[in-house]
Amino acid sequence: MRVLGVDPGLTRCGVGVVEGVAGRPLTMLGVGVVRTPPGDDIGPRLVAVERGIEEWLDRFSPELVAVERVFSQHNVRTVMGTAQASAVAMLCASRRGIPVALHTPSEVKAAVTGSGRADKDQVGAMVTRLLRLSAPPKPADAADALALAICHIWRAPAQNRLQQAVARSRLQQTAAPQPSAVKGRTR
């Protein structure tokens, strides 16, 4: 499985591509950051993020795009920019018919480090170890994007089994004969 991880942001949008399957060594195919000038208007910045993500999609042809789920932050301006960059990534993937998966920051940290409260240095260190890199990817947004891809590769088999079980259950419920109403006379 080839996954493009996206750590959304307007100033720095981390991107990283990882290939592999759960239980086997993973391979980093590329890592980087799509940057936009903080002083520019929002429209041109979103277009720049779109162009950057489109280039990564063209270059690596991922089977899935894993995006960090936006969570509430104290700084509304920061969360808005993150949400907008996240939407651009999802739009780019969806336009091409590439499935999108969302993972929370704590889910990613727990998958990669074993603790949902790990700090950025711990995530970077584990990404370095897991991908057998000589140094942690910089900036941290790039390491976070790789961590998203790793998280999805490792969790996808279990998530797929759960989704299939739910789908089978729903199918069985709709296919099961429904009790018919018994018509009778009352005395």
pLDDT tens digits, one per residue of 48-76: 999 999 999 999 999 999 999 987 667 77
Token pair recorded at residue 111:
């998958």
Mean pLDDT of the region 150-154: 96
Token look-up 């509304």 returns 76
pLDDT: is 2 or 71 the higher one? 2
pTM confidence score: 0.85
Q: Where are the alpha helices (DSSP H) in the chain?
A: 42-60, 76-95, 105-113, 120-130, 140-175
pLDDT tens digits, one per residue of 72-81: 667 777 888 8
What's residue 171's pLDDT? 82
**Confidence tier at 122 by pLDDT (50, 70, 90):** very high
Query: Residues with catalytic annotation?
Result: 7, 68, 141
What's residue 72's pLDDT? 67
Q: Looking at the predicted structure, is the pLDDT value of residue 183 above 60?
A: no
Proportion of the chain above pLDDT 90, given as a percent: 75
The sign one gets for the Cα dihedral 113, 156, 71, 77 is: positive
Token pair recorded at residue 43:
């429209």
